[in-house]
Each structure stands twice: as structure tokens, then as C-alpha cells.
Amino acid sequence: MEIIKAILFGIVEGITEWLPISSTGHMILLDEFISLGVSDEFYKLFEVVIQLGAILAVVIMYFKTIFPWGFGKTKTDTLATFNLWGKILVACVPAAVIGILFDDWLDEHLYTPVVVALMLIIYGIIFLIIERKEMRKCSCEDLKDITYKQALGVGAFQLLSLVPGTSRSGATIIGGLALGLKRSVAAEFTFFLAIPVMAGASLLKLLKYILKVGFVFETTELVILGVGSLVAFIVSILVIKFLMAYIRKHDFKIFGYYRIVLGILVLLYFFLLK
């Protein structure tokens, strides 16, 4: 039964990590209805570490783009790749600093269903507003055209995702759109930005777990981690392909509507039914 639950968590992680609908928010809500039979400390580790499966999907799918050498790349191409990584790292700075300083406080005070619901609704509305034609001024048509100023701006927007329910991809995509990035460029930059951010978050959670519990895992816990990560990896590949195909012909409004409806349903559940 715990393995089946891990599969469900992996599916939800793989879908919601890349769509701008909040992976953390959905994981909190899923845990409300289908809790894993593990300790609180291990679950906190699990919900972050399975993101590594999602990261691996990006690394494999975009390896040619993010790896500086090979694939017939010239010196100019290699420099351009290093330049892209420079922008990715610059964009990571704001969330990395604030996230490390306030990680425990955020876990303690903001990881609640009500906060998730409110953020789902608020940022759903923002998506609808920013996707209005008169609000869209696209000045960046390619990854290589992103400036360091725009990268830092996207990183600043990523700070919003420290509040659960906001969505890391949602915050950075909104930031990218607001700063003039083409939809596909905003989405791809969000994918790449996830690599150091999510790897760092996983390492931080792992260190905290080791310091508190020790490097001790039961066989069941290791299986749960492995299954959840593998499922998240497989589902992420499918979802990333879907998202990139979808936004070539459509905008992000559908995700805004989804967030609003889900947020309202969550509020109704916790205030009226629970």
C-alpha cells in the first residue's frame, strides 16, 4: 500500500512540478487525503527529494542545450552555454539566500491547506491578467537573448514560490512573461532554473534529516524514495513534452482558471466540510 501511495505522489510531483499549478501545494493536499505511513521527518525529506527524479528528466531531455561540450558545438556555442549557466546561477541567488535563512520558519508557519488555497487563487488571477493581449510585450524570442537583468528579475519572482501554493514554475513563468520573455523561453528557463534550485533544496533537506535523525533509513523508506523518484522522472518527461507543445499554440490562461477553481474547492472543503 505504501508503494502504491509513493506512485501516486510521484505522479502528482511529475505533473505539478512543471505545470504552473504548484507542486508543493498539491503534495500538501494529497498528504491531507493519502498520508504515507512514515515519520514526519522522513516525509519532509521525501516530498523534496523525489523532485530529483523530475530534475533528471530536464537534464536528459535538454542535455544537448545545457552541456557545454560535444554535439558538434563550436567554441562560440560552448561560451554561449556557459553564459546561459551564468544567467541561471544569477537567477538562483535571491531564492537561495532567503530560502536558506527562512526554510524552517516557512515550514512551520506557511505549509497549511488554507495558505495553499489562497495562493492558488491569487496567482491564478495574476495569470489571467498577465495573459491579456495588451499586457504581453514580448522582447525576448530565444534563450540566448535573455539578459542578466532579466535573469535576476526572474530570480526575484522566484522568491514568491517560497510560499506554498504559489508554484515555483508559476512564479518564474509569470516573471518571465512580465519581463518580456516568449512563453516557450520563459518555460525552458524555468526548467533549467529548477536544476540548481531543486538540487540545493534536496541537499538542504537531506542534511537536516541526517543531523536530526542520522543517516539511517529503513528498507521501506528507501523503496518509497526510489519508487516516488522514478515515477516522478517518467511522468515529468511526458508533462514537459506536453507543456512545450501546448504553449506553442495556447497561452497559460487554462492554468489560471484551474488554480482558481481548485483553490475555491480547497477552501470550501476545509471551512465547510472538514
Q: What residues form DSSP beta bridges with 181?
A: 140
Distance CA(187)–CA(168), nearest Å, equals 11
Give the chain's domain count: 1
8-12, 106-110, 190-194, 207-211: range with lowest mean pLDDT: 106-110
Question: Does the pLDDT of residue 134 top 50, yes or no?
Answer: no
189 pLDDT above the threshold of 70? yes
3 vs 96, more confident: 3
Query: What pLDDT does residue 39 have?
Result: 81
Q: Are 114 and 267 in contact (CB under 8 A)?
A: yes
CA distance 197 to 91: 10
User: Using CA atoms, how far apart are residues 84 and 242, in angstroms rounded to an integer?
Assistant: 24
Q: What is the per-residue pLDDT for 136?
A: 60
Instruction: Give the pLDDT score at 124.
Output: 94
* Per-residue pLDDT tens digits for 81-120: 999 999 999 999 888 888 777 777 777 778 788 888 899 9
274 has pLDDT over 70:
no
Per-residue pLDDT averaged across 123-143, rounded?
80
Q: Indicate whether 42 pLDDT > 80.
A: yes
Q: Mean pLDDT over residues 37-43, rounded?
A: 82
Residue with cell string 530534475: 55
215: cell is: 543517516
C-alpha cell at 65: 542545450
Q: 102: alpha, beta or left, given left = phi > 0 and alpha = psi -120 to 50?
A: alpha
Q: Which residues sit opposite 140 in a β-bridge?
A: 181
Expressed as residue numbers, the domain containing 35 is: 2-273
CA distance 107 to 102: 9
SS3 string, the chain, reads CHHHHHHHHHHHHHHHCCCCCCHHHHHHHHHHHCCCCCCHHHHHHHHHHCHHHHHHHHHHHCHHHHCCCCCCCCHHHHHHHHHHHHHHHHHHHHHHHHHHHHHHHHHHHCCCHHHHHHHHHHHHHHHHHHCCHHHCCCCECCHHHCCHHHHHHHHHHHHHHHCCCCCHHHHHHHHHHHCCECHHHHHHHHHHHHHHHHHHHHHHHHHHHHHHHCCCCCHHHHHHHHHHHHHHHHHHHHHHHHHHHHHCCCCCHHHHHHHHHHHHHHHHHHHHHC
Q: How many residues does the chain have?
A: 274
Spatial CA neighbour of 24 closest among 1, 4, 2, 43? 43
Separation CA 91–CA 152 (nearest Å): 5
pTM of the model: 0.86
